[in-house]
Structure 1
Amino acid sequence: MSTQPAPEVALKERPADRRAIVSWCLWDFGSNAYNTVMLSFVFSVYVTSAAAPTPERGQEVFSLLQTIAGFGVAILAPMLGAWGDQVRKRRRMLTMATVMVVVLMAACWFVLPFEPGRGEQYLFLGAALIAGANVFQQIAEIFYNAMLIDISNPRTIGRISGVAWGLGYFAGVLCLLVALFGFVLDGGMFGIPTFESQNIRAIALFMAAWLLVWSIPVMLFGPEASPREQTERFNVFRAYRDIVRRLVHMWRSERGLLHFLIASAVYRDGLAAVFAFAGVIATSSYGFASEEVIYFGLAANFLAAVGAWLFGLVDDRFGPRPVILIALSTMVVLGVILVSTPSKMLFWICGLGIASLVGAVQSSSRTLLARITPVGLENETFGLYATIGRAASFIAPFLLFVFTALMGARFGLLGIVLTLALGLALFIPLRIAGVTHGHRQAMAQR
């Protein structure tokens, strides 16, 4: 059982800055344009099908560049986090990363459909632009998540994080509806020509504008940490050396924090797989038509938003640990039930039940880390959160592949269930002072 004593943490009792809180939440509302439409449901499908000679080739190139992007995040995240902790310019760095995501999404307009005379250059261009946007999106999330410490206190952190996460899912529903009915179905209500897929390419411009508009408030009013007195210039090699030393120190003196980073990396990989593979499993194993998958995706995002909001209140009342335990346990049980039968109705019930808990676990994981992050190491800690998460990102896809190969497509779902169960098993022994209900009042009085 890992236990971390209560150190001097960055999260303190402070008055609420409502303008900063609203601005911070609106960034999550805007940023889901990339996650839902560009990466998950619409534009990635266009790149891997219409811009590729074959879907197989499209998937091969797309997955390759996403893998490269993952390595890029794993390498850059802790270093940039350490730099951010030294220069204390979270808002500026969040702004720069967000603008890069906007630019790369807008550049997707130039990704033309495949024609034999064009070769594969537009396939590589589209895959590279989405992969690049993925890198900057995850870098932006490091500084965004670290801001949670500056706008909340031990009594409000769960509520604020849950509302923001829920707004992100709700925005995903809105963006998906706009993309489908405004641009895709029957040529779209906006009347954009379908010649050379202009209507689909225009989605990228709309989503880039969406992210930019909703990010402006946090660019102007987001919290900015007080500058730290500089004793020496930032050195990249020294930063990586210090990160290794930090991990060694965590093993010796902050083992609870390291334990959480590892456990959360495992179950967060399972959470990511829930949305990444839900449509594929629904189609291949439960007889869903393409239109039904869209309806399921809309319902799943809506319920994920509601779950994040409601469990954010539970987080503030009882702490993040019970939320994570209850939600993960419920997801594992529903997953086992779902695997037991190919019933479409059961997929709707259990699948939506699982989806409703994804945001709750993600949000409470973020608040737990924010509660135990040491003073002055906010960005670096969230950078490690991203890096260690990347290191575990192969588990669910690999297990899904193994079970699919051995037992068939429906049983591939067991790979996701086992990943969640493994993460839950790693998390259960974890005890960290300062994040349970019994410690909340003591923290608030600091």
Structure 2
Amino acid sequence: MRTADAPGRPDRRRVLAWAWWDWGDSAINAVMTTFVFTVYLTSAAFGDPARASSVLGWALGASGLAVAVLAPVTGQRADLAGRRRFWLGLHTGIVVVATAACFLVRPAPEFLLLGAALIAVANVFNEFAGVNYNAMLPQISTPATIGRISGLGWSMGYLGGILALAVVLFGFVSPNLLGIPTADALNIRAVALFSAGWFAVFALPVLIRVPEIRPDVAGTRTGFLASYRLLARRVRALYRRSPHTVYFLAASAVFRDGLAAIFTFGGVIASGTFGFSLQQVIVFAIAGNVVAALGAAVGGVLDDRLGPRRVILLSLTGLLASGTAMLFVTSQAGFWVCGLILCLFVGPAQASARSFLGRLAPAGQEGELYGLYATTGRAVSFLAPTLFAAAVTIFGAQRWGILGILVVLLAGLLVLLPVRPPEHAPQPDPIDAGPV
């Protein structure tokens, strides 16, 4: 079966409730792991910044390994038990608690390990929550609307990140409008409480409005190790029934790594190559997120009309063209133009990748497949950073790191070219759902 009661027309209240989770999660991604708290954690207050960065890197690397190994099984077990919403709520709650606990990380070297561990735990369970959240997409949409609803979620995430960053920057950092004391980094530590509260509040609607799914097989229970045997059987069966679904997982893993690198290294290139100040980088980041949100929304509409594969191919082509142009511009104005065009195409590619998989997911196995989606992404997450660094090393200039990212995007496009989505999602074999 698909999910709990898939109506002919999506319930708008459920759709909006689902999208608010993305809005809330943006505080964890933008504030805690990208722009604010990890920057604080790798500052001189925790000792040698190089050592602090190394400790954080190892912690995040360990969290990535945990996600790669466990994500498919966590999604599978939620599908089997019919407790997708329950596990979304539990994992979200753990993220909220771990994030709030970051308030305890005082600016002293002895607190470095605590801070890195808390960020790693939040990262792991945020990924687990995302598996069940993404698996809800086919549950709250129809084949005719899945693209625009996925685009709405990505747009809400971008816009929520912008607002959360603005509140943090102006309210807690500079000019610190809330007047929180800066002694003992209290204002920065308070950002953790804000982020935890932000996520908790905006995660509630999906847990209230979106109903629980029915169990994949009533009464089926599997042991933890048996879940991996079931997973292997299902992947083999999926390949037999729909090999292009497996091909898409591989293609999307590659191009999604390139998409992530655009945001990871965008600020670095703006500052190091084009001479942007920190304030200018923040202004560009806000503008870029606005453009990406608009792109995701428009791309979602095109997704439902043209199909997700075409939207992804068009987006990757646009990214390659604008990224190539950026290799040769020298002015800040040129960076603004090329950079915003890049952001315009990132949103649709991300949103359509999620909806593409939602269209391919076998009935009752959405969580498991989105778990594989997370795992394959983690498996190749070294590609873009490695090629970025290699290109900088070979050509001797930071600008050429862009070329490394373009190579990853091109590889993803080429792997995607032969992929053909089925007209209908493949149905699970009866044996797949049986006891292990």
Residue of structure 1 in register with 2:134 after alignment: 145
- Indicate yes or no: 2:214 matched with 1:221: no
- CA shift, 1:262, in A, is 0.2
Q: Structure 2 matches for 1:6-405, cutoff 5 A? A: 14-114=8-108, 120-186=109-175, 188-405=176-393
CA distance in 2, matches of 1:13, 1:273: 38
In structure 2, the CA distance between the partners of 1:417 and 1:66, relative to structure 1 (3 Å rule), is same
Q: For residues 211 and 14 of structure 2, what CA distance do their matches in structure 1 show? A: 6
How far off its partner does 1:248 sit? 2.4
> Secondary structure of 2:240's partner?
helix
Q: TM-score, normalised to structure 2's length?
A: 0.94
CA contact (8 A) 2:80 2:220 kept: no
What is the root-mean-square deviation in Å for CA atoms of aligned residues? 1.7
Cα deviation, 1:296-345, whole Å, max 9, x if unaligned, reads 11111111111111111111111111110111100011111111233222
The Cα offsets for residues 252-301 of structure 1, whole Å up to 9 and x where unpaired, read as 33210000000000000011111111111111111111111111111111
Shift of 1:404: 1.1
Q: Residue 15 of structure 1: CA displacement?
A: 3.0
What secondary structure sits across from 2:273 in the alignment? helix
Name the SS for the 1:224 alignment partner: coil
Shift of 1:416: 1.0
What letter corresponds to residue 115 of structure 2 in structure 1?
A: G
The one-letter code sitting in structure 1 at the alignment partner of 2:410 is A
Is contact 2:151–2:298 with CA below 8 Å preserved after alignment? yes
Aligned mates of 1:104, 1:76 — CA distance in 2: 19
124-133 vs 386-395, which moves further = 124-133
| 1:181-222 Cα deviation digits (max 9, x unpaired) | 001013x00000000110111111011100001111111112
Q: Partners of 1:233 and 1:155 in 2: how far apart?
A: 34
Tell me the amino acid that sits aligned with residue 429 of structure 1: P
Structure 2 Cα separation of the partners of residues 34 and 228 of structure 1: 31
The offset of 1:227, in angstroms, is 2.7
Aligned residues, how many? 423
Kept in 2, the 8 Å contact 1:158–1:367? The answer is: yes
- Which residues of structure 1 form unaligned runs of 5+? 1-7, 115-119, 437-446
Q: Which amino acid aligns with 1:82?
A: Q
Distance 1:310 1:29 in 2: 18
Deviating beyond 3 angstroms after TM superposition, the runs of 4 or more aligned structure 1 residues are 8-13, 228-232
User: Amino acid of the residue matched to residue 209 of structure 1?
Assistant: G
Task: Name the CA distance, whole Å, in 2 between partners of 1:222 and 1:107.
Answer: 29
Deviation at 1:92, TM superposition (A): 0.6
Distance apart, 1:435 and its partner CA: 7.5
**Other-structure match for 1:415:** 404
SS in 1 for 2:42: helix
CA contact (8 A) 1:151 1:223 kept: no
Q: 1:367: Cα distance to partner?
A: 0.6
Residue in 1 that maps onto 2:430: none
**Partners of 2:117 and 2:45 in 1: CA distance:** 13
Deviation at 1:75, TM superposition (A): 1.1
Report Cα offsets for 1:228-263 as digits up to 9, x if no partner: 443542211111112122222333332100000000
CA distance in 1, matches of 2:41, 2:304: 42
Matched residue of 1:376: which SS?
Answer: coil
SS at match of 1:431: coil
- C-alpha distance in 2, partners of 1:253/1:151? 25
String of CA shifts for 1:1-31, please: whole Å, max 9, x gaps.
xxxxxxx977966332222111101111111
1:30–1:211 Cα contact (<8 Å) kept: yes
Alignment partner of 1:427 is 2:416: yes
What is the alpha-carbon distance in structure 2 between the residues aligned to residue 171 and residue 232 of structure 1?
A: 39
d(CA) in 1 for partners of 2:299 and 2:199? 26
Identify the range of structure 1 (14-23 vs 84-93) with the bigger mean alpha-carbon deviation: 14-23
Q: Mean Cα displacement is larger for which, 138-147 or 310-319?
A: 310-319
* Unaligned residue ranges in structure 2 (runs of 5+): 426-436
Matches of 2:379 and 2:347, distance apart in 1: 21
- 2:2/2:139 contact within 8 Å kept: no
Compared with structure 1, are the counterparts of its residues 197 and 379 closer, same or farther at alpha carbon in structure 2 (3 Å cutoff)? same
Q: Once the 2 structures are TM-superposed, how far is the Cα of residue 54 of structure 1 from its aligned partner?
A: 2.2
2:78 partner SS: helix
* TM-score for both structures, normalised by structure 1: 0.92
Farther off after superposition, 379-388 or 334-343: 334-343
* Worse-superposed segment, 241-250 or 27-36: 241-250
Contact 2:81–2:220 (CA under 8 A) maintained in structure 1 = no
Preserved CA contact (<8 Å) 1:147 1:223: no
